[in-house]
Each structure stands twice: as C-alpha cells, then as structure tokens.
C-alpha cells in the first residue's frame, strides 16, 4: 500500500516507537551510493553512512545481487544447530583470514550489542571470573549486559540496577590500569571512542592495556563495531597500535547494509561455549545466510577497492579542511579523527546543534545527538567521490558561517 507523505509520517509517529522527541522524519523513498532520496524528490548527502554501516555506500549493486541470489536458494533453515551453511562458513573463514592470529573462531550475531553480550559471556565462562572493566565515555550497546559496561551514566541510570562488579576507569589513563587485577574476567574497550566524542587513545595506553591484561590473565575485548572494515584508514583499528585482543566484536559495516554482527576469538576461548553445558550461547537468526552473503559481497568491494586507503586519503583531506574552518571560527575547539571517523568539537552544545541543523537544511546529514553534546561526527561512505566531498565541505562552511 502506498501512503501519502503526510499520512505516512502521521502513522510513523503513532505506531513506531519513538526514541527522541524530535526525529529527523525524512520520508525515504530510496537510497543509493552516498545519497538518501525522499518521497518529495530531495537528495540528502549522507555523511553518517547510517551510523558507520554503509561503508560501501547505500544499496551497493554487488550486495543487492548477492542478497537476491542467496534468497532464491534458502533463507532461514537452522543457523546454530546441525546444518552447515556455505555462506556462513565462507564468511567465518574470510574473517579469520583478515584478522590477525589467533583470532580465528567466529560466532555470528544480529548486531553489535549482541556481539558484545556474547564476548562478555564467553570471557566470564572461560576465566571463571566475574569482574568486568570498561572505560568512562564508552558505548557498547543498549541491551542489559552491554549497557552495564557502557561508561555514560545518562544511558545507564534509567535502567539500574544493571550487572554488578563492573568498574569504570578513565579512558587513556595509563596510571589507572592497575585496577585490572586477578579477579578481572575481561576488559572491554573501543580502540577509538565513537559516541564518547571520537576520542583516540595513545599508543602507550593501548600497549600498557594489553600488557596489564596479560599480567593478570584477563581477556582483552576490542569493540570494533564502529571502527572495523576500513573506517579508520585500516581494515581494523587494532592495526594502528599493532596489538591483538583476545576477542574482537564486529557489526555495522560488516553486512553491507544487512543486519549481522560477530565476536571472534581464540579457539580455546570460544570452545568453552560448547561445553559445561553444551549450547551455552545460542541464537536463532545470527549468521543468517542472506546476511552472510551480503557481508561477503561487501568485503569483496572493500578489499577489491582497498577502501581503507581511500578512507585514509579522504579523511586527511576533510580533517585539513575542517581545521582551516576551526582557525577562522571561535565556535570550533578541536577537529580529530582517523580515516573517515571524524569528530568536530564545538565550544558549546547549541553551536553543534545549529551546525547540524543548518547542514541538514542544505541536504547534508551529519551525526549529532543530545548525548554527544558538543561533538559532531563526520563518517561518509568510504567510497565517497571527490565531488561529493567538495559538496559536503561547501555546505559545512556555509552552515558554520550562519551559526
């Protein structure tokens, strides 16, 4: 049934659960490449990529073709059980080849928060410890377990009490790492804090974190849900520091626009899920064959076009342009990022809100929420064209002048 625009918006507000009082409300007709098209014929340049999901752009034809081909073969049969599904097995093998050793056993989920849930569970089961360490400013998801290790009280407080025995440490503070002790099952960390404001840790902090976990026998979990698959100018952000976690969690860009996540770990760690008892962690839809087929096609594009290199080159250019804007304005305090995960920190929340609003009026989508306060996120598709970058920069310059 085709609804008129205003009727569709009314039904959206009436029947779809709202998570903010001011939804963007764009009535989407289609999306392609770097653009989202609305039913009234407007084209919006998407510099958030569906929150770092569409690393290869919207509705990539290779992904669509893979979805159709797999859908004509079979959909859900049984994901975790007795059946061997070629798209799932092939994707697991592909991920293990892309990740450093010994990260070679994959558990597929439907999302990033589920990947973090599984990683926390397997860490506690493997170590037989209960203490978890996370960091202030972090974001690991909205389900009970992943929310429990999210280091922002604005998210946690409405749902407390959450998991007990969770300790939060200041991010990028080497002196605080002594809190990681022999009772710690796992430390979970984003290699770059996204929701926390595009905060990039020092190499010393990351290396000391790995060393401390080794000293006390705690597992190190890297949450690369947002930073994976070329976003930061490397295939995975862990490559910036040259260290390997015990478990890595993935999602967002993995599926090329389809819902899929994963946690990947050492064989001895992941093997604990099959014993005492068997079926220690199960999922009905995780590793769905259509989503796995889409993920394989997306990986082919990322690797074939070496999009992490494109992210690095374009990211350096955008950061340079934004820093020139900073020098000419007292509204911007800082511009930081790696690859095409970039943050613009404004002097106050009102300036960030107006900047995003003025950009949206000119048909440019940027990332900002009430909980991100003063930091605007810039995260376009990794295959964004030079012309699209110039279009976005022109809009941002005009939006800043009118702020």
Look up the pTM and report it: 0.95
Mean pLDDT value across the chain: 95
Calculate what percentage of the chain has a pLDDT beyond 90.
86
Distance CA 393, CA 370 (A): 23
Q: What is residue 51's predicted lDDT score, i.e. its pLDDT?
A: 94
Task: Bin 242: left if φ > 0, else alpha if -120 < ψ < 50, else beta.
Answer: left
Over 80: is that where the pLDDT of 145 sits? yes
* Distances from the Cα of 29 to the Cα of 36, 38, 65, 252, angstroms: 8, 5, 20, 22
How is residue 279 written in tokens?
Answer: 């079926």
Over 50: is that where the pLDDT of 403 sits? yes
Q: What is residue 370's predicted lDDT score, i.e. its pLDDT?
A: 62
Over 60: is that where the pLDDT of 2 sits? no
Is pLDDT larger for residue 328 or for residue 84? 84
Over 90: is that where the pLDDT of 298 sits? yes
Sequence-distant (≥ 6) Cβ neighbours of residue 124 within 8 angstroms: 130, 132, 185, 186
What confidence category does residue 336 fall into, taking pLDDT thresholds of 50, 70 and 90? Answer: very high
Q: What is residue 279's predicted lDDT score, i.e. its pLDDT?
A: 86
Q: What is residue 165's predicted lDDT score, i.e. its pLDDT?
A: 96
| Domains delineated in the chain | 5-59+306-401 (3.90.1150.10), 74-304 (3.40.640.10)
Q: What is residue 1's predicted lDDT score, i.e. its pLDDT?
A: 45
Over 60: is that where the pLDDT of 9 sits? yes
What confidence category does residue 402 fall into, taking pLDDT thresholds of 50, 70 and 90? Answer: confident
CB burial of 242-258 (b: ≥16 within 10 Å; e: otherwise) equals: ebbbbbbbbbbbbbbbb
Over residues 154-179, the pLDDT tens digits come to 999 999 999 999 999 999 999 999 99
CB 26 within 8 A of CB 50: no
Nearest Cα to Cα of residue 108 among 289, 267, 303: 289
How is residue 399 written in tokens?
Answer: 């939006």
Is pLDDT larger for residue 308 or for residue 367? 308
Distance CA 344, CA 323 (A): 9
How is residue 84 written in tokens?
Answer: 């061997």
Over residues 206-253, the pLDDT tens digits come to 999 999 999 999 999 999 999 999 999 999 999 999 999 999 999 999
């Amino acid at each position: 049934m085709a609804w008129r625009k205003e009727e569709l918006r009314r039904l959206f507000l009436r029947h779809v659960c709202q998570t903010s009082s001011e939804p963007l409300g764009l009535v989407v007709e289609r999306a392609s490449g770097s653009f989202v098209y609305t039913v009234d014929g407007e084209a919006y340049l998407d510099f958030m990529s569906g929150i770092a999901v569409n690393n290869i752009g919207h509705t990539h034809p290779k992904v669509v073709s893979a979805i159709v081909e797999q859908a004509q073969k079979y959909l859900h049969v049984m994901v975790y059980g007795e059946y061997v599904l070629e798209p799932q097995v092939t994707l697991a093998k592909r991920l293990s080849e892309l990740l450093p050793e010994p990260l070679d056993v994959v558990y597929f989920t439907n999302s990033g928060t589920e990947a973090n849930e599984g990683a926390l569970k397997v860490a506690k089961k493997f170590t037989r410890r209960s203490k978890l360490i996370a960091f202030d400013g972090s974001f690991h998801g909205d389900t009970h377990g992943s929310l429990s290790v999210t280091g922002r009280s604005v998210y946690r407080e409405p749902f407390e009490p959450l998991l007990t025995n969770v300790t939060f440490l200041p991010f990028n503070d080497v002196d605080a790492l002594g809190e990681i002790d022999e009772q710690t099952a796992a430390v979970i960390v984003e290699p770059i804090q996204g929701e926390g404001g595009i905060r990039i840790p020092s190499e010393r902090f990351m290396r000391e974190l790995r060393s401390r976990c080794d000293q006390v026998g705690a597992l190190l979990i890297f949450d690369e849900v947002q930073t994976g698959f070329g976003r930061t100018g490397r295939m995975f952000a862990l490559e910036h520091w040259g260290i390997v976690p015990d478990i890595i969690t993935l999602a967002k860009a993995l599926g090329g626009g389809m819902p899929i996540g994963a946690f990947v770990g050492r064989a001895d760690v992941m093997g604990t899920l099959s014993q005492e008892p068997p079926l220690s962690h199960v999922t009905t839809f995780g590793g769905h064959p259509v989503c796995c087929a889409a993920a394989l096609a997306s990986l082919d594009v990322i690797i074939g076009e070496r999009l992490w290199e494109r992210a690095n080159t374009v990211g350096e250019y955008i950061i340079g342009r934004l820093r020139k804007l900073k020098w000419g304005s007292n509204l911007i305090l800082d511009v930081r990022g790696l690859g095409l995960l970039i943050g613009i920190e404004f002097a106050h929340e009102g300036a960030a809100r107006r900047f995003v609003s003025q950009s949206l009026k000119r048909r440019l989508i940027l990332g900002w929420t009430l909980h991100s306060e003063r930091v605007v996120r810039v995260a376009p598709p990794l295959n964004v064209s030079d012309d699209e970058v110039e279009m976005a920069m022109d809009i941002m310059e005009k939006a800043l002048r009118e702020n």
